[in-house]
């Protein structure tokens, strides 16, 4: 460990979220003297486990592990540092009002009145999606190609991309891909399937964590993203909740020689002669480094931590225009006992339960968000992790659900009354499928997008530090001048979800940033 | 037996454009039209006494000046008259006027939002920039990105170069512009909701998307990139109604020796051993030709006019997936005088332009939500014009023609087919909306023609009445229009071509798809082309 008195580092990372920890680990591994500064009492950012009620714990932001970058998991040897899976490759159960629920796995679908024809098409469709994902997935692990000053790696990547599109996929699938890429999920699914429940559940995957509805063009790409990132989109549950992922990352970075300080909120990033010199903590302490890496979203980094005077007006304008609308809330319920879901065995309940009856209803739920209202009939992704991980609840169970839609800027604001009302709406919604749930509820809370901003620094309540839409992807993410992790300010970098390839507990941004920094030094 | 070089199915403006250029190249061309009148959606219909209704398309701007010149349409009587003015009425009884004079426009914007004045300049410059960027692509055939033919690779290179030359800053702006919603786009410029709504209007006209749906900013451009006499972004009336456009084109066709037959609906495109042999009319009559050009939209062409065996599985599937949903309706109204709009200053010239009555973005988006539920919007976005204030030839002296374009209006009403009763309800609701702002309009109405998408579909064959012959969504533009592999105006069988707005660069009275299709046919025939390239009008 580094001597505390010596306040000079090779690199300082602002923000101990998963990407910060990953970036720190890679840099430390490369022999850099690195410190990761976290404002909260614990690291983890959006991947944390916290107490819900006495003896009950819950993953308070992200609740499934479905996008963890496989290279990161391997390089950091997270398994050796304490990451264990309580359940892996869970299937999805799309809940039906009539109790005839639908079971979806990677390429099979059954129940929910799905026709054999649709089941066949589902196989074909998903295998095509996985083919697209595996062909283009490599883009996630490299910095966006900078077509305006191509270095050798860019040229290789560009050629690889062209080759994979044209010969990997072949002419037919390539042109189909170019057609699909900008489509809305609704048309894509309507073109393929008949079963409404099936289309509802799949469309929910596309709109999850976005400010879009099934009708919104472009969100087919979000659907593909879920499959391309992580382990082919397999949905896992870590032992000890999502906090276990980031604590494994923490252990790994420490083992590689990184220093981690919690309770160390950064007040500003220091700049002298057009280059960063380090940071000043809120307690006045100054840490020096020629490289500062912000795991905080670009807006906050530029407007608050560095100050706009060190950047050109146009860069600042683009930064302020980054769209960061979150529309998902989090529902947490402490249960005395398991509720009965009509038509489901207890053994089914460990899976990913989805409430998205059909695309039209998902779109209707979204309509409200557009006008700063909460959905009357919200859509949900439900997890009951205590079924696979006893450590989360000494007795009884905990239920965690992502709820859409809940706008960040609710008309009239997120008052306690508004929160209570929406909590009721959500519980009633689950009640439609689990009528007896109320009598098992010990405690229930709702985490609004506003809360996510306050608790996890997710500005606008957006998981991705900037919406993942066509105009905010690849070389355009978060803004072109910062798409390669280096800001137009010597020594200043970003490594967070706001950068390519975006959020989700992936860690790819942290890894790419570290490699960009090391490469920059090498050259 | 007589055999033509080319038969063109459908006498819409693109079919006639294609036919004219082919005839000009010396080919023996026949245009067959199912209706008793020519023009498709560019018509001046005499549906009430001495009125002439532009009862489908109603304004002119996108029509390519190159075509106008090279077919000498002036000689054939096409005269486009610019109109000025236009306004958006507010619920509060105020208005936002459109003025050609930049200074006056700035003052008007200042009246509503001082800080938006500079934003307006920035907006204006940026739009002009994107127009100049996109216009040279209109009279070109999109490359096939999967092909290795020299021409495709060369065209791809040309495109890549064009984008590269924008530089990082403009490329970013363009990518953003190309993919964002018009709502988000407006937010980058303006503060005033009224100004946003006023500007955003044309971005969803004819589109089954809301102002906050990604991709709609591009549709805005699609309505901006036209010009009248070189004034980019200007709109005008074809003197005598839109029929003057098809009339002039028909004149050109005949001048070059082409024939046009009306009341000749096509039943099927005849194919023998993978090669086109001609068309069979609904009357059973067969007309023979080596090449057939369909100016009908992609759905009807491949699903109704071809034997599935000829079209092939792939094309049938693609045609079924081709999106051409109807989202708009139209009222054509004969007025005995000029209606008063109480918000406007007395004798204001603004009424000579296009005016609208949705004054905020949310109302606009809510109008879209109703369409998604299969209903027409209770307070729709209206694009209203009174051409007779600029071109008196369309109505008896002192009387007027009013064209009311309505967004949104579904192809089916809550799943139910349109009938006279529904049409009446729809028409009444629109007129009541206008009457809120014009107390005397109802007394001035002599005759109303109400057109839903279904009516337009039945009459002129635009599927669901989609005014662009297929949606202008990103997945149906450039080499994806109408669908991958068929974006170069060639059909699935030898000698078959497409010239309609289902093809690049899409809808609007532009003539570009027609001209491009003619170019491709002449290339295949090794005949030196009569089709002009972009001549960089600005």
Per-residue model confidence as pLDDT tens digits over A479-517? 999 999 999 999 999 999 999 999 889 999 999 999 999
**Does pLDDT of A1 surpass 60?**
no
* C-alpha distance from A55 to closest chain B C-alpha (Å): 45
Which chain A positions have a beta carbon within 8 Å of B213's beta carbon?
215-217
For an interface test with A, the pick among B415, B484, B486, B487 (most A C-beta atoms closer than 10 Å) comes out as B484
Q: Which residues in chain B have their CB less than 8 angstroms from residue A148's CB?
A: 164, 167-168
In a mutagenesis test of the B interface, which of A150, A203, A217, A472 is the best target, namely the one with the most B β-carbons within 10 Å?
Answer: A217
Please tell me what DSSP assigns to residue B351.
G
Q: Is B230 a residue whose pLDDT tops 80?
A: no
Check CB contact under 8 Å for A216 and B184.
Answer: no
- Count chain A–chain B contacts defined by CB atoms under 8 A: 86
What pLDDT band is residue B179 in, cutting at 50, 70 and 90? Answer: confident
CB B2 within 8 A of CB B233: no
In this structure, are residues A493 and A292 in contact, taking their beta carbons and an 8 Å threshold? yes
Report chain A's terminal Cα–Cα distance, integer Å: 29
| Contact assignment for A476 to B184 by CB distance below 8 Å | no
- B172/A476 Cβ within 8 A: yes
Pairing of strands A328-335, A441-447: antiparallel
Chain A residues 430-489 within an 8 A CB cutoff of chain B: 469-471, 476, 479-481
Chain A neighbors of B184, CB-CB under 8 A = 323
CA end-to-end distance (rounded Å), chain B: 48
Give mean pLDDT, residues A82-86.
97
Is the model's pLDDT at B368 over the cut of 70? yes
Instruction: Provide, as residue numbers in chain A, all residues whose Cβ is less than 8 Å from the Cβ of B473.
Output: 182-183, 217
Q: What is the pLDDT of residue A2?
A: 44
Q: Is the pLDDT assigned to residue A33 strictly greater than 80? A: yes
Nearest residue, CB atoms, A187 vs list B167, B172, B323:
B323
Distance in angstroms (rounded) separating the CA atoms of residues B327 and A411 = 30
A143-158 average pLDDT score: 91
Question: For chain B, give me the number of helices (H) and strands (E)?
Answer: 17, 20
| Position A523 confidence tier, pLDDT thresholds 50, 70, 90 | low
Mean pLDDT of all residues in A275-304: 97
Tell me how close the Cα of A472 comes to any Cα of chain B, in angstroms.
Answer: 8
Give the pLDDT band (50/70/90) at residue B538: low
Instruction: Give counts: helices (H), strands (E), chain A.
Output: 15, 19
Q: Please judge whether A215 and B167 are an interchain contact, meaning their C-beta atoms are less than 8 angstroms apart.
A: no
**pLDDT for the residue numbered B381:** 96
Identify all chain A residues contacting B193, using CB atoms and an 8 Å cutoff.
Answer: none
The alpha carbon of residue A480 is apart from the nearest alpha carbon of chain B, in Å, by 7
Interchain pair A215, B213: CB under 8 A: yes
Confidence of residue B441 (pLDDT cuts 50, 70, 90): very high
The secondary structure element, H or E, covering residue B287 is strand B286-294
Q: Is A312 on the interface with B (CB under 8 A)?
A: no
Of the candidates B171, B214, B480, which has its C-beta nearest A469's C-beta? B214
CA closest to B160 among chain A residues: A147
Q: Closest residue of A to B188, CA-based?
A: A321
CA–CA separation, B83 and B78 (whole Å): 16
Query: Is B369's CB within 8 Å of A367's CB?
Result: yes
How does DSSP classify residue B494? B
B504-525, pLDDT tens digit by residue? 999 899 999 999 999 999 999 9
Tell me the chain B residues in contact with residue A476 when contact means C-beta distances shorter than 8 Å: 172, 175-176
Q: Which residue of A has its CA nearest to B369?
A: A367
Interface test with B, best of A182, A193, A220, A369 (most B CBs within 10 A): A182
Residue B364: exposure state from Cβ atoms within 10 A (0-12, 13-18, ≥19)? buried
Task: Point out the residue among A217, A363, A479 whose CB comes nearest to the CB of B474.
Answer: A217
Residue partners of B385: CB distance under 8 A and separation at least 6: B58, B59, B83, B353, B354, B355, B402, B403
**A391 membership: H or E segment, kind and range:** none
Q: Do B209 and A217 touch (CB under 8 A)?
A: yes
Residues of B in Cβ contact (< 8 Å) with A181: 475
Evaluate if residue A85 carries a pLDDT over 70: yes
Looking at residue B222, its pLDDT comes to 82
CA distances from A158 to A149, A162, A321, B154, B378 (A): 12, 6, 28, 18, 50
Residue among B148, B162, B175, B298 with most chain A CBs within 10 A, to mutate: B175
Q: B276: distance to nearest CA of chain A, Å?
A: 25
Instruction: Show residues of chain B in contact with A314, CB under 8 Å.
Output: 169
Contact A176 B473 (CB under 8 A): no
Q: What is the mean pLDDT of residues A242-262?
A: 97
CB contacts of A176 in chain B (<8 Å) are 484
Between chains, do B168 and A183 touch, taking CB under 8 Å as contact?
Answer: no
CA-nearest residue of chain A to B485? A175
In this prediction, residues A348-372 reach a mean pLDDT of 97
Instruction: Judge whether residue A465 has pLDDT over 80.
Output: yes
Q: Do B169 and A191 make contact, defined as CB atoms within 8 angstroms?
A: no
List phi, psi (to 5°) of A266: -85, 130
**What average pLDDT is seen over chain A?**
95
Structure tokens at B249: 């084109």
Task: Check residue A255 and give its pLDDT.
Answer: 97
Chain A neighbors of B372, CB-CB under 8 A: 215, 360, 363
Chain B residue at shortest CA distance from A166:
B146
Does A366 lie at the interface with B, CB-CB under 8 angstroms?
no
Cβ–Cβ of B214/A216 closer than 8 Å? yes
**Per-residue DSSP letter, A268:** E
Least confident of A1-5, A298-302, B208-212, B317-321: A1-5
pLDDT of residue A173: 95
Per-residue pLDDT of A438-456, as tens digits, reads 999 999 999 999 999 999 9
Does the distance separating the beta carbons of A182 and B215 come in below 8 Å? yes
Confidence (pLDDT) at A146:
85
Calpha distance A253→B248 (Å, rounded) = 76
- A218 lies within 8 A of chain B by CB: yes
Q: Does pLDDT of A409 surpass 70?
A: yes
- With vertex at residue B435, the alpha carbon angle to CA B432 and CA B436, rounded to the nearest 5 degrees, is 95
User: Residue A78: which of A336, A255, A343, A265 has the closest Cα?
Assistant: A255
- pLDDT at residue A3, as a whole number: 47
Looking only at the bridges linking them, the beta strands covering A34-37 and A8-14 are parallel
Question: Chain B residues within 8 A (CB-CB) of chain A?
Answer: 144-146, 164, 167-169, 171-172, 175-176, 178-180, 184, 188, 209, 212-215, 321, 323, 362, 365-366, 369, 372, 473-475, 479-480, 483-485
- Across the interface, which of A178, A323, A371 has its CB nearest the CB of B145? A178
Q: Do A147 and B485 touch (CB under 8 A)?
A: no
So what's the pLDDT on residue A5? 55
Q: pLDDT tens across A109-124, in order?
A: 999 999 999 999 999 9
CB B469 within 8 A of CB B502: yes
CA A520 to chain B, closest CA, distance in angstroms equals 21
């Amino acid at each position: 460990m580094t001597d505390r008195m010596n306040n000079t580092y090779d690199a300082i990372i602002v923000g101990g979220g998963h990407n910060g920890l990953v970036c720190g680990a890679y840099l430390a591994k490369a022999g850099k003297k690195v410190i990761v500064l976290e404002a909260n009492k614990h690291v983890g950012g959006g991947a944390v486990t916290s107490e819900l009620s006495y003896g009950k714990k819950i993953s308070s932001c992200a609740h499934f592990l479905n996008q963890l970058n496989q290279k990161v998991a391997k390089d950091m040897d997270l398994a050796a540092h304490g990451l264990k899976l309580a359940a892996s490759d869970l299937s999805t159960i799309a809940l039906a009002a009539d109790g005839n629920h639908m079971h979806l796995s990677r390429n099979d679908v059954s129940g929910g009145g799905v026709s054999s024809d649709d089941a066949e098409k589902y196989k074909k469709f998903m295998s095509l999606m996985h083919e697209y994902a595996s062909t283009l997935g490599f883009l996630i692990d490299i910095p966006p190609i900078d077509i305006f000053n191509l270095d050798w790696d860019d040229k290789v990547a560009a050629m690889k991309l062209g080759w994979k599109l044209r010969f990997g996929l072949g002419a037919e699938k390539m042109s189909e891909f170019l057609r699909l890429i900008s489509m809305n999920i609704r048309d894509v699914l309507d073109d393929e399937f008949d079963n409404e429940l099936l289309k509802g559940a799949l469309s929910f995957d596309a709109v999850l964590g976005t400010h879009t509805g099934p009708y919104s063009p472009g969100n087919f790409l979000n659907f593909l993203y879920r499959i391309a990132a992580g382990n082919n989109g397999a949905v896992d549950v870590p032992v000890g909740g999502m906090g276990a992922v980031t604590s494994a990352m923490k252990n790994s970075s420490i083992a590689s020689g990184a220093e981690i300080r919690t309770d160390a909120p950064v007040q500003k990033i220091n700049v002298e002669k057009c280059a960063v010199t380090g940071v000043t903590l809120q307690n006045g302490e100054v840490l020096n480094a020629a490289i500062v890496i912000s795991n905080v979203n670009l807006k906050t980094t530029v407007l608050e931590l560095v100050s706009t005077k060190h950047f050109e007006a146009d860069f600042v304008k683009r930064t302020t225009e980054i769209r960061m609308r979150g529309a998902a809330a989090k529902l947490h319920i402490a249960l005395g006992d398991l509720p009965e879901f009509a038509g489901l065995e207890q053994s089914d309940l460990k899976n990913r339960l989805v409430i998205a009856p059909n695309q039209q209803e998902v779109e209707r739920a979204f309509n409200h968000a557009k006008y700063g209202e909460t959905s009357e009939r919200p859509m949900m992704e439900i997890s009951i992790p205590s079924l696979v991980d006893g450590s989360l609840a000494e007795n009884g169970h905990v239920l965690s659900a992502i709820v859409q839609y809940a706008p960040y800027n609710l008309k009239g604001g997120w008052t306690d009354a508004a929160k209570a009302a929406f909590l009721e709406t959500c519980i009633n919604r689950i009640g439609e499928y689990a009528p007896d749930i109320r009598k098992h509820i010990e405690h229930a809370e709702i985490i609004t997008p506003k809360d996510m901003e306050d608790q996890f620094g997710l500005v606008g309540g957006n998981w991705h530090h900037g919406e993942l839409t066509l105009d905010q992807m690849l070389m355009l993410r978060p803004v072109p001048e910062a798409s390669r992790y280096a800001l137009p300010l010597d020594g200043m970098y970003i490594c967070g979800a706001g950068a390519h390839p975006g959020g989700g507990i992936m860690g790819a941004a942290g890894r790419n940033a570290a490699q960009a920094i090391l490469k920059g030094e090498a050259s | 037996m007589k055999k033509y070089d080319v038969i063109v199915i459908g006498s819409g403006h693109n079919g006639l454009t294609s036919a004219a250029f082919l005839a000009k190249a010396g080919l023996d061309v026949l245009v067959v039209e199912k209706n008793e009148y020519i023009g498709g959606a560019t018509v001046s219909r005499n549906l009430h006494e001495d009125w002439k209704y532009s009862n489908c398309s109603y304004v002119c701007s996108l029509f390519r000046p190159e075509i106008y010149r090279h077919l000498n349409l002036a000689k054939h009587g096409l005269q486009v008259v610019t109109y000025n003015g236009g306004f958006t009425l507010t619920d509060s009884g105020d208005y936002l006027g459109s003025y050609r004079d930049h200074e006056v426009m700035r003052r008007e914007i200042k009246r509503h939002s001082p800080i938006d004045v500079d934003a307006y300049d920035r907006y204006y410059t940026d739009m002009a920039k994107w127009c100049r960027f996109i216009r040279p692509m209109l009279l070109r055939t999109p490359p096939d990105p999967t092909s290795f033919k020299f021409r495709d690779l060369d065209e791809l290179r040309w495109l890549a170069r064009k984008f590269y030359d924008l530089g990082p800053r403009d490329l970013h702006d363009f990518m953003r512009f190309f993919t964002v919603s018009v709502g988000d786009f407006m937010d980058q410029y303006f503060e005033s909701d009224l100004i946003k709504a006023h500007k955003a209007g044309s971005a969803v006209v004819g589109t089954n998307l809301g102002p906050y749906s990604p991709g709609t900013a591009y549709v805005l451009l699609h309505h901006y990139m036209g010009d009248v006499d070189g004034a980019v972004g200007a709109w005008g009336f074809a003197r005598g109604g839109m029929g003057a456009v098809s009339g002039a084109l028909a004149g050109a066709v005949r001048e070059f020796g082409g024939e046009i037959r009306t009341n000749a609906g096509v039943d099927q495109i005849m194919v023998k051993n993978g090669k086109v042999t001609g068309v069979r009319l609904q009357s059973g009559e067969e007309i023979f030709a080596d090449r057939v050009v369909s100016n009908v939209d992609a759905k009807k062409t491949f699903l109704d006019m071809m034997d599935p065996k000829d079209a092939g599985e792939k094309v049938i599937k693609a045609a079924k997936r081709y999106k051409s949903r109807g989202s708009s309706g139209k009222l054509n109204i004969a007025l005995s005088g000029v209606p008063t709009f109480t918000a406007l200053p007395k004798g204001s010239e603004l009424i000579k332009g296009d005016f609208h009555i949705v004054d905020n973005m949310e109302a606009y988006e809510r109008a879209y939500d109703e369409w998604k539920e299969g209903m027409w919007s209770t307070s729709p976005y209206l694009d209203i014009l009174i051409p007779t204030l600029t071109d008196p030839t369309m109505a008896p002296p002192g009387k007027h023609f009013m064209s009311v374009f309505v967004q949104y209006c579904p192809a089916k009403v809550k799943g139910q087919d349109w009938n006279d009763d529904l049409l009446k309800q729809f028409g009444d609701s629109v007129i009541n909306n206008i009457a809120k702002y014009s107390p005397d309009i109802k007394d001035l109405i002599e005759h109303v023609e109400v057109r839903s998408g279904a009516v337009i579909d039945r009459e002129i064959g635009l599927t669901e009445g989609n005014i662009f012959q297929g949606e202008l969504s990103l997945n149906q533009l450039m080499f994806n229009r109408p669908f991958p592999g068929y974006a170069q105006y060639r059909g699935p069988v030898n000698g078959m071509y497409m010239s309609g707005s289902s093809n690049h660069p899409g809808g609007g009275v532009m003539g570009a798809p027609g001209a491009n299709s003619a170019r491709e046919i002449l290339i295949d025939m090794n005949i030196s082309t009569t089709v002009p390239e972009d001549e960089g009008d600005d």
